[in-house]
Structure formats: structure tokens, C-alpha cells
A and B are shown apart, each in its own frame.
Chain A
């Protein structure tokens, strides 16, 4: 089964040093990405989901560093690379960035370099990793732009980012990401900055790209609706930890962690009964630099016990592929894995 995973994140720890303070942005995060599927990473802003994504390719800001854990990338059954073994901007890592693993960033409006034409920027990625003549590259890019629904791609090739709308820019970002036909596409809140109508189009495009090219996708979002729409598996994050991991069905039909439950209750889902009321989660997210002895969700948790304040909960596998990090399910655990 292991070979079925194209990317495995194991016990990843990422720290930020801000002045003399250390912020534990990512704590003991583990999840697996199955080949050809879409994994959703959900959580409130500031829960460490973006940092997790940046940690995979070590695109972290200078103040941050990976303290421990592994990121295992398995491009083919014979080969597995641990990406955390490589230095931050090493040659090995750079040959993977953009080629094997591509990334789409949250703010499409500011992710394109304002001074270069979009064709140039896609070309930069393509020619970095593939030996193509300028003419071939240009043809390929124009084809890709057409596939992504950008009208008259030949003319738009030379246009600058400021001449595009938000949705079009995000399409260009997808083109940059997909042009080298990567194995993994990491999309960090790809639709947050866009209008709702455009959101659906962009999601459909990502889905379409995935089906056409067999790409595995990690989709980072705070929007449960988007997760329900296109994800196969879901990791729920809170305060730098994955609190629950499972298939879409497991998470939505049978949520275990109190946070996941609360999160699901707070989002309107199409088709929900009209008498169902939306609930908000009590309390506020603590400051990221706060260090907890016990469970991070304890202060807001309606089921908090004494144990929750004293010890970090361990990960319990409740059923095949469904993991929860909560003391409530201590007895149900199939096997102990700290």
C-alpha cells in the first residue's frame, strides 16, 4: 500500500523564530497523498496549513526552518526521496520545484511578477525544466492557455499581469503550475481572492487538469464547501496539528474530533435541512506563540476533560484510514501510535 502514496508527510515540525520568540507553526504533522487523488487540508487561518504546504518544498521565509520530520516523495515505485534531506535552495530541491511539484498561491493577484509578460513567466518555468526551443515552448504554452479557457491566447501571451482580471490571473498561475506536467500540484487557497462565480470555474479547471494529467493535488482551504466538492481525503488542522484525517466520507459523515464537528456545524452545506442552525465555535483561536501542555483545542472544547490540559492527545486510528487526535477516543484506538 505504501507505494500507492506519492507524498507522505511524517511528523513534520516547522518553527518560526520571531525575535526571541519561537512559534511552533507546524507540530508533528503527518498525512499521506494518494496517487491521482485530491487531499484537502482544512483549518482556520493561522492554523499552519499554508506553512505545511510551504514546508513540503522548503519555500519557507528565512525566519522559519524545518526542525524535524520527513517529506517522502515517491515519483516512481522504485524511487523515494526525502525532501527534508535537501538543503533549502539546493539543486536537487530546485529540480523538483516547478517540475515534479508545482504550487499555486493564495493571492493570484500578487503571485505574478508585475514587470514580465505572462508568456515570459510561463516560459521561465517551462524552459527551466525542459529543453525546448523557444518556438516549441511558445506553442505549448499557447495550447495550455487555450485549454485553460483564456481567450485568444496568442495575443494574451505578450500581455502583462495588470491587463488581466483576477480569475484570468489565477488561470495563468495554473498554467505556470501545470506547464511541466507535475506529479503533485499544491494549491494554497486558490480561490480565496476571487469572486464566487469565478471560484467554481477555477475549481472545475483544477479538477479538469487533474483528470487530464493524472496529477495528485493538495488543496489548502478554509472552505468546507470546496473540500466537499473536490477532495477525496481530508486533513483537518488546528493550531499547527492535524486533528483528524480521513476520507471525505469519513470526515463528513462520521466526524470524531470536537473541532471537526464544530467546523462542520459552522458551515452551510447545500441540501441541509432548513431547521438546522449554524453554530459558531466558542472562544477565539489562541495566539500562535502560546505553548500548550495539553490539547490545543481544550480551552474551546465542550468535551474537555482533566487529561486534556495535562497531556497531548495521541493519534488514534478509529477505522481504516481514519485518524483522530483526541483523548475522547482513547479506548477505541486500534493501536497506539504517538
Chain B
């Protein structure tokens, strides 16, 4: 297992490097002078053309691209990511306030949706061709067809404005920053962001479950005299989720992408909304850095799911698959 862990970890390093290169290229393509986001704007206001030119030399902006890349990478690692073009705030500061909000939203959404998707798929397969199965399947179809933002808007109208059970948007009531006080704000976004993911997962879990339920080893397990619960959970379900893990990994980016829409709908101050606002304001340095963190989050999440797959399946662990 440890060997597998390090092998996977090692394969992620080149990916992260490639992503940083892509982000760097993206920054290079951004219209405008890189110096404008590399030094604090208040400082820039007092500088003459000459000092700026000196600055440029000092910052190494006239160096060849690859040297600038490594300098840039070094700065990122030190936490120095430059400044926002719009309000001159340090990009790192913006990220550190927005990232936790998004991680909270997506991690909860991911957890809730995964549990629901697996559970519904499991039930659907066990109750195959019954009204329960049909209605779950139909709900799943509807779930992948309705746009997330439409779900969100409708939820706001129903639960936020009509019944007033939940706050219609935002992340917290001013002065009440505790996690439990934030929960009412999280309920709707967390549920809505995972709807399509839940539906997809349910569908695959159902299929995979039906597949495994017909496997010889399940019959063999039953011939040992095990209870149906044990046969279904310990043998069928345990094996059925292994192929589903691939779907989970593939859907993680889509789930995270949902933050752009969901955070806008619920006015939730996270990375998705940040990216959208920054693009609207042509604040590309912020966009690029934010995207870098999102990609990093996707990589880390995939890595964790990969590890989980390996825990679940000895064949992966021993590199036989």
C-alpha cells in the first residue's frame, strides 16, 4: 500500500508542474504589462517611467521565459502571487479568504452526493423493476436534465423567499462566523451542487450492482449461508463500487466546476464566484491563480479517491490492474 501511495504521489508531481507551466503561459498571454500585477499598485503610483523600467530589470521581466517561469514558480511557493489588477489586494490574501469557503462547499457537496448516489443506486438495484426502482431512475433522469442554476433559483424562491426556512444566499450572518451558524447557508448550495452528480453516480452504481449481483462469487457467498444483508453489502456492494470509483474521479472536476454557477446563484463568496467576477473585470492574474488552485484541488481529490480505490481493491494495490 505504501509503495502504491508513493508511486501515485510521484506521478502527480509532473502533472502539477505541467499545470503550473500552463498557468504561466496563460499569464503570459494576458493582455497588459505583467509589472502591473507584480508590484503593489500604491507603490506603482509614485513611480516614474524610469523606476518602472528599473523595476522591470530587477524583477527579471526581461529575462528569457524559462528563467521567469522558475522565478515565478519560486514566488508562488513562497506565497507571493502578485496583486489584483482591480483593487490591488494581494492575490494570496484573496485566495486564502475564498478557498476555504469553496472547499467547505464542494467537500460537503461531494460527501453528501456520493453517499446519496451510492445509496440510491444500491436500493435501486436491490429493488430492480419495482416502483421504487422506476421512480429513482426517473428522478435521476430529471436530475441530470434540469440546469443547476434553475434548481438553485427555484430552491431560493421556495425555501428562501416563500417559506423563509433558509437564507436565500450568502455564507454567514455577520458576526456569527462559527461553522454551525453557517450550516443554514450551506444546505441549499450543498444539495444543489451535487444533484447531477448524485444522479450520475446512482445510475452507474445501479448498473454495476446489477452486474456484480449476478457474479459467481456472490452466488458462492450465498452458498456459505450468509445473510442477504451480508451478501449484498460485503460481497455485491463492496465489489460494485470499484468500477464506480472511476466515475467518481471523472466527475470531480464537473462537481467543482459547478461552484462557478452555484456560488453565483447563492451569492456565496468562494473561488467560483471569484473567477467569474475577475473574468468580468478582466483581472486575469487572479483568474489564473484561482484556476491553478482549482486544478490543484481536482488533482488532490482525484489522488485521494485513487487511494481509496486501492484500499478497496487489492488488484490495484498490487498493480495487477
Contact = CB atoms under 8 A, between A and B. Distances in A.
Contact of B224 (A61, A106, A125, A160): A125
A99 B225 contact: yes
A102 interface: yes
A160 B223 contact: no
Interface string A115-132: 101000000110011000
A201 interface: no
Contact of B225 (A94, A107, A112, A117): A94
Those 10 A-B pairs whose CB atoms lie nearest each other, nearest first? A97-B225, A98-B224, A98-B225, A94-B225, A125-B224, A113-B217, A110-B216, A103-B223, A111-B220, A160-B314
The range of chain B's interface size is 20 to 34
Contacts of A105: 216, 219-220, 223
Interface stretch (B95-103, B235-243, B272-280, B299-307): B235-243
A101 to B, nearest CB: 9
Contacts of A160: 314-315, 318
B320 interface: yes
B227 to A, nearest CB: 7
B227 A102 contact: no
8 contacts: A89-B228, A96-B225, A105-B216, A113-B220, A113-B239, A125-B225, A128-B224, A160-B315
Contacts, number: 78
Given A59-B219, A110-B216, A162-B314, A124 B226 contact: yes
B221 interface: yes
A146 interface: no
Contacts of A96: 225
B107 interface: no
Given A59-B222, A96-B225, A97-B223, A162 B315 contact: yes
A169 to B, nearest CB: 11
B313 interface: yes
A54 B223 CA distance: 9
Given A105-B219, A110-B215, A162-B320, A115 B224 contact: no
A125 B242 CA distance: 24
B214 interface: yes
B225 A176 contact: no
